[in-house]
Amino acid sequence: MTSTEILSGSKSGILRAARILNDGGLVAFPTETVYGLGGDATKHETVNRIYTAKGRPENNPLIIHVYDEKRARELVKMNLLAESLANSFWPGPLTMVLKQDFSGKLKIAETAVSQLETIAIRVPAHPVAREILRLCKNPIAAPSANMSGKLSTTRFEDVQACMSGRVDAIMDGGPCPIGVESTIIKVQDEIISILRPGTITEEQISSGLGQSFSEKKKTEKKISSPGQFKSHYCPKTPIRLNIIHPRADELLLAFGPLPAGVKGLSLSEISDPHEAAMNLYSSLADLDELARITKSSAIAIQPIPKIGVGIAINDRLRRAANRLQ
């Protein structure tokens, strides 16, 4: 059991977070997507602590976070395609899987990338995350701040509920504005493949590049993305998808106004997919708790159109509904 400091998102909290990270400690901090659980990616013991804190299988590599493209270049080889994507989307919620550049001075711990020859790298846009990364001397491995396979966290209180006693510090940086994890793409020569959908869509990537891209067939045997784990992001309560009218003993997660007399919450009263994404994990956490108290049998979820960020929301919900036991 680790004693966990609570930090504010102010300048002093940011300085403290960077100091703990520079000393090899673990800090949960906000990003624009979800809360991250950060640690120095070059230190083996720190990286091992990340896996232990999350109960994460070691074949599930971590996203490496850096302050800017210049620092990214110290770790990965960026071809013209990757450069153009970085220009369009960094800082922001786009993770690129690129070949490691082993010639540089900086060495990522092998366990951080599950012994792969690639690195999933991201330059986040959240001002607090950026300032922390600017002050860190090394890249930061930061998976989502939640127990492996469970709901990601987008509110300080949810991070505290699952990470207290497991990390050295948790920062209260308010709610995460986007609410779903970054889009992960693999850039291999001239081919881009989407490994995990996010708020940056295929259309946006195509228009950022000024051309459409061909999606390579995913033939890799190794797990290269959580998109390949069929069960993930699970609340304790079972989930039923695409339900308009819930059963009497279910709670409803509505997309649009919550119907009169029905127990539950709305992801967005005005059916706005971006608002729905922002509220996704916090609403599921609240309904999970309400289901426990009211002994409800399931969380029924209304259909959400599979366009734009709705594709990412449906991806997460499909996995959330796919419980292992």
Nearest alpha carbon to residue 254 among 214, 287, 289: 287
- Tokens representing 237 are 């309560």
**Among 20, 52, 57, 16, which Cα is nearest to 39's?**
20
The one among 31, 144, 279, 314 contacting Mg ion by CB under 5 A: 144
Q: Which of 20, 76, 184, 194 is in the footprint of ligand AMP by CB under 6 A?
A: 184
In angstroms, the CA 152 to CA 324 distance is: 17
Site for ligand AMP in 209-228 (CB under 6 A): 224-226
In the complex with Mg ion, the residue whose CB is nearer, 254 or 313, is: 313
Minimum CB–partner distance for residue 73 and ligand AMP (Å): 17
Q: Is the peptide bond before 91 cis (omega within 30 degrees of 0)?
A: yes
Q: What is the DSSP letter of 9?
A: S
Q: Which of 31, 46, 60, 138 binds ligand AMP (CB under 6 A)?
A: 60
**In the complex, minimum distance from the CB of residue 46 to ligand AMP, in angstroms, rounded to a whole number:** 15
Residues 238-277, interacting with ligand AMP (CB under 6 A): none
Minimum CB–partner distance for residue 195 and ligand AMP (Å): 6
- How many residues bind Mg ion (CB under 5 A)? The answer is 1
Burial class from Cβ neighbours inside 10 Å (0-12, 13-18, 19+) for residue 144 reads buried
CB 11 within 8 A of CB 110: no
Cβ-closest residue to Mg ion?
144
User: Is 178 an interacting residue with respect to ligand AMP (CB under 6 A)?
Assistant: no
Query: Nearest approach, Cβ of 63 to Mg ion (angstroms)?
Result: 9
Contact window for ligand AMP (CB under 6 A) among 116-124, 199-207, 243-251, 298-306: 116-124
Helix axes 80-89, 202-209, angle to 10 degrees: 110
The residue to which tokens 């990537």 are assigned:
205
Q: Which residues are CB-neighbours of 277 under 8 A, at least 6 positions away?
A: 178, 179, 180, 199, 309, 312, 313
Site for Mg ion in 280-309 (CB under 5 A): none
Residues 137-176 that bind ligand AMP (CB under 6 A): 143-144
- Find which of ligand AMP, Mg ion, none residue 116 binds, CB within 5 to 8 Å per kind: ligand AMP
Task: Please report which helix (H) or strand (E) contains residue 99, including its range.
Answer: strand 94-99
Q: Given the complex with ligand AMP, which of 201 and 266 has the nearer CB atom?
A: 201
Taking alpha carbons only, the member of 242, 239, 246, 318 closest to residue 283 is: 239
What the block records as the tokens of 304 is: 């959400």
Residues lying near ligand AMP in the complex (CB under 6 A): 60-63, 97, 113, 116, 118-120, 143-144, 181, 184, 195, 224-226
Residues lying near Mg ion in the complex (CB under 5 A): 144
